[in-house]
Protein backbone atom coordinates (compact mmCIF):
# COMPACT_ATOMS: atom_id res chain seq x y z
CA UNK A 1 0.00 0.00 0.00
CA UNK A 2 1.07 3.56 -0.67
CA UNK A 3 -0.58 6.95 -0.43
CA UNK A 4 -1.15 9.35 -3.31
CA UNK A 5 1.82 11.35 -1.96
CA UNK A 6 4.09 8.42 -2.94
CA UNK A 7 2.99 8.34 -6.59
CA UNK A 8 5.74 8.51 -9.20
CA UNK A 9 5.97 7.83 -12.93
CA UNK A 10 6.23 4.13 -13.74
CA UNK A 11 4.64 3.00 -10.45
CA UNK A 12 2.10 0.22 -11.06
CA UNK A 13 -1.17 0.42 -9.14
CA UNK A 14 -3.67 -2.36 -8.55
CA UNK A 15 -7.10 -0.71 -8.92
CA UNK A 16 -10.12 -3.04 -8.70
CA UNK A 17 -7.96 -6.02 -9.65
CA UNK A 18 -6.53 -4.37 -12.76
CA UNK A 19 -2.97 -3.13 -13.19
CA UNK A 20 -2.40 0.51 -14.16
CA UNK A 21 0.94 2.23 -14.67
CA UNK A 22 1.30 5.91 -13.69
CA UNK A 23 2.23 7.89 -16.82
CA UNK A 24 1.86 11.38 -15.31
CA UNK A 25 0.78 12.82 -12.00
CA UNK A 26 0.25 16.29 -10.62
CA UNK A 27 -0.45 17.37 -7.05
CA UNK A 28 -3.06 20.15 -7.06
CA UNK A 29 -3.78 22.43 -4.11
CA UNK A 30 -6.71 24.65 -5.06
CA UNK A 31 -7.39 27.87 -3.15
CA UNK A 32 -10.63 26.38 -1.84
CA UNK A 33 -11.28 22.77 -0.95
CA UNK A 34 -9.02 19.82 -0.28
CA UNK A 35 -5.86 19.00 -2.23
CA UNK A 36 -6.01 16.26 -4.84
CA UNK A 37 -3.77 14.35 -7.23
CA UNK A 38 -4.55 14.32 -10.95
CA UNK A 39 -3.08 11.28 -12.73
CA UNK A 40 -2.86 9.81 -16.19
CA UNK A 41 -2.89 6.00 -15.94
CA UNK A 42 -2.09 3.44 -18.63
CA UNK A 43 -3.66 -0.01 -18.44
CA UNK A 44 -0.68 -2.39 -18.34
CA UNK A 45 -2.24 -5.09 -20.53
CA UNK A 46 -4.44 -3.19 -23.00
CA UNK A 47 -2.44 0.05 -23.22
CA UNK A 48 -5.59 2.16 -22.73
CA UNK A 49 -4.87 5.54 -21.11
CA UNK A 50 -7.33 7.16 -18.69
CA UNK A 51 -7.34 10.22 -16.44
CA UNK A 52 -8.11 9.59 -12.77
CA UNK A 53 -8.24 11.95 -9.82
CA UNK A 54 -7.47 10.89 -6.24
CA UNK A 55 -7.97 12.89 -3.04
CA UNK A 56 -4.62 13.76 -1.45
CA UNK A 57 -3.38 11.25 1.11
CA UNK A 58 -5.72 8.45 -0.01
CA UNK A 59 -4.25 4.94 0.19
CA UNK A 60 -3.76 3.15 -3.15
CA UNK A 61 -2.71 -0.45 -3.63
CA UNK A 62 0.56 -0.88 -5.49
CA UNK A 63 1.34 -3.97 -7.53
CA UNK A 64 4.61 -5.81 -7.13
CA UNK A 65 6.08 -5.64 -10.63
CA UNK A 66 9.40 -7.35 -11.30
CA UNK A 67 11.38 -5.61 -14.06
CA UNK A 68 14.38 -7.58 -15.36
CA UNK A 69 16.80 -7.22 -18.23
CA UNK A 70 16.39 -10.28 -20.41
CA UNK A 71 17.80 -11.44 -23.72
CA UNK A 72 15.46 -12.33 -26.58
CA UNK A 73 16.40 -15.84 -27.75
CA UNK A 74 13.94 -16.99 -30.42
CA UNK A 75 10.31 -17.12 -31.52
CA UNK A 76 8.38 -20.32 -30.81
CA UNK A 77 4.95 -20.35 -32.45
CA UNK A 78 3.16 -17.20 -31.27
CA UNK A 79 5.45 -16.87 -28.23
CA UNK A 80 8.75 -15.06 -27.84
CA UNK A 81 11.32 -16.74 -25.59
CA UNK A 82 13.42 -14.54 -23.30
CA UNK A 83 16.23 -15.58 -20.95
CA UNK A 84 17.00 -14.02 -17.57
CA UNK A 85 20.72 -13.24 -17.71
CA UNK A 86 21.18 -13.82 -13.94
CA UNK A 87 19.36 -17.12 -13.45
CA UNK A 88 19.30 -18.38 -17.07
CA UNK A 89 15.58 -19.12 -16.62
CA UNK A 90 13.61 -18.94 -19.85
CA UNK A 91 10.31 -17.06 -20.05
CA UNK A 92 7.72 -17.49 -22.80
CA UNK A 93 6.01 -14.18 -23.60
CA UNK A 94 2.97 -14.09 -25.90
CA UNK A 95 3.02 -11.98 -29.06
CA UNK A 96 0.19 -9.82 -27.65
CA UNK A 97 2.38 -8.81 -24.70
CA UNK A 98 5.46 -8.18 -26.87
CA UNK A 99 3.39 -5.99 -29.20
CA UNK A 100 5.25 -3.54 -31.46
CA UNK A 101 8.59 -4.37 -29.83
CA UNK A 102 8.67 -7.46 -32.08
CA UNK A 103 9.30 -5.15 -35.07
CA UNK A 104 12.69 -4.16 -33.66
CA UNK A 105 13.94 -7.35 -31.96
CA UNK A 106 16.64 -9.62 -33.33
CA UNK A 107 17.81 -12.77 -31.59
CA UNK A 108 20.17 -11.64 -28.85
CA UNK A 109 18.46 -8.26 -28.32
CA UNK A 110 18.35 -7.13 -24.68
CA UNK A 111 14.96 -5.95 -23.40
CA UNK A 112 13.32 -5.06 -20.12
CA UNK A 113 10.59 -7.61 -19.31
CA UNK A 114 8.09 -6.73 -16.57
CA UNK A 115 6.24 -9.51 -14.77
CA UNK A 116 3.60 -9.60 -12.01
CA UNK A 117 3.27 -12.88 -10.09
CA UNK A 118 5.10 -14.65 -12.93
CA UNK A 119 2.78 -13.27 -15.63
CA UNK A 120 4.54 -11.16 -18.30
CA UNK A 121 3.00 -7.66 -18.48
CA UNK A 122 5.05 -5.85 -21.11
CA UNK A 123 8.37 -5.77 -22.95
CA UNK A 124 10.30 -2.53 -23.15
CA UNK A 125 13.15 -1.97 -25.61
CA UNK A 126 15.75 0.80 -25.47
CA UNK A 127 14.48 4.07 -27.02
CA UNK A 128 16.55 3.39 -30.15
CA UNK A 129 18.03 0.30 -31.79
CA UNK A 130 20.52 -0.21 -34.62
CA UNK A 131 19.33 -2.41 -37.50
CA UNK A 132 20.56 -3.20 -41.01
CA UNK A 133 18.49 -2.30 -44.09
CA UNK A 134 17.74 -5.64 -45.76
CA UNK A 135 16.30 -4.10 -48.92
CA UNK A 136 15.47 -0.68 -50.31
CA UNK A 137 15.07 0.61 -53.86
CA UNK A 138 18.13 2.48 -55.14
CA UNK A 139 17.74 6.27 -55.01
CA UNK A 140 17.55 8.03 -58.37
CA UNK A 141 20.38 10.32 -59.42
CA UNK A 142 19.54 13.90 -58.47
CA UNK A 143 17.14 12.88 -55.70
CA UNK A 144 19.53 13.76 -52.90
CA UNK A 145 18.54 17.41 -52.64
CA UNK A 146 14.78 16.87 -52.40
CA UNK A 147 14.89 15.40 -48.90
CA UNK A 148 12.25 12.80 -49.78
CA UNK A 149 11.79 9.39 -48.20
CA UNK A 150 11.43 5.85 -49.48
CA UNK A 151 10.41 2.57 -47.84
CA UNK A 152 13.15 0.29 -46.52
CA UNK A 153 12.76 -3.24 -45.15
CA UNK A 154 14.81 -3.85 -42.00
CA UNK A 155 16.50 -7.14 -41.08
CA UNK A 156 13.59 -7.83 -38.69
CA UNK A 157 11.14 -7.67 -41.62
CA UNK A 158 9.63 -4.36 -40.47
CA UNK A 159 9.35 -1.54 -43.02
CA UNK A 160 10.21 2.08 -42.22
CA UNK A 161 10.67 5.30 -44.20
CA UNK A 162 14.29 6.35 -44.79
CA UNK A 163 15.99 9.18 -46.75
CA UNK A 164 16.60 8.52 -50.45
CA UNK A 165 20.41 8.35 -50.17
CA UNK A 166 20.42 5.16 -48.05
CA UNK A 167 21.20 1.83 -49.71
CA UNK A 168 20.68 -1.87 -48.96
CA UNK A 169 23.10 -3.17 -46.31
CA UNK A 170 23.53 0.10 -44.40
CA UNK A 171 23.01 0.20 -40.63
CA UNK A 172 20.48 2.72 -39.31
CA UNK A 173 19.26 3.90 -35.91
CA UNK A 174 15.48 3.47 -35.42
CA UNK A 175 13.18 4.89 -32.72
CA UNK A 176 11.42 1.89 -31.11
CA UNK A 177 8.45 3.98 -29.93
CA UNK A 178 7.19 5.06 -33.36
CA UNK A 179 9.45 3.32 -35.90
CA UNK A 180 10.97 6.54 -37.20
CA UNK A 181 14.42 6.79 -38.80
CA UNK A 182 16.92 8.56 -36.50
CA UNK A 183 20.16 8.40 -38.47
CA UNK A 184 22.75 6.34 -40.30
CA UNK A 185 25.41 4.41 -38.38
CA UNK A 186 28.82 4.56 -40.03
CA UNK A 187 30.66 1.26 -39.83
- For residues 5-9, average pLDDT: 85
Report the percent of the chain where pLDDT is more than 90: 48
Report the percent of the chain where pLDDT is more than 70: 95
- pLDDT one-digit tens code per residue, 34-91: 999 999 998 887 778 999 999 988 999 998 888 899 999 999 999 999 999 899 999 9
- Quote the CA–CA distance of 49 and 178 in Å, as a whole number: 17
Q: What is the reported pLDDT for 171?
A: 94
Domains of the chain: 2-60 (2.30.30.30), 66-124 (2.40.50.140), 128-185 (2.40.50.140)
Amino acid sequence: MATTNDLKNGLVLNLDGQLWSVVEFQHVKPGKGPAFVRTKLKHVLSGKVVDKTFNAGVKVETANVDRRDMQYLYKEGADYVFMDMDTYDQLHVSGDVVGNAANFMLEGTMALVATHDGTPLYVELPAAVELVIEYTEPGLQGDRSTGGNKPAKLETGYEIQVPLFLTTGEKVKVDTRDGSYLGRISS
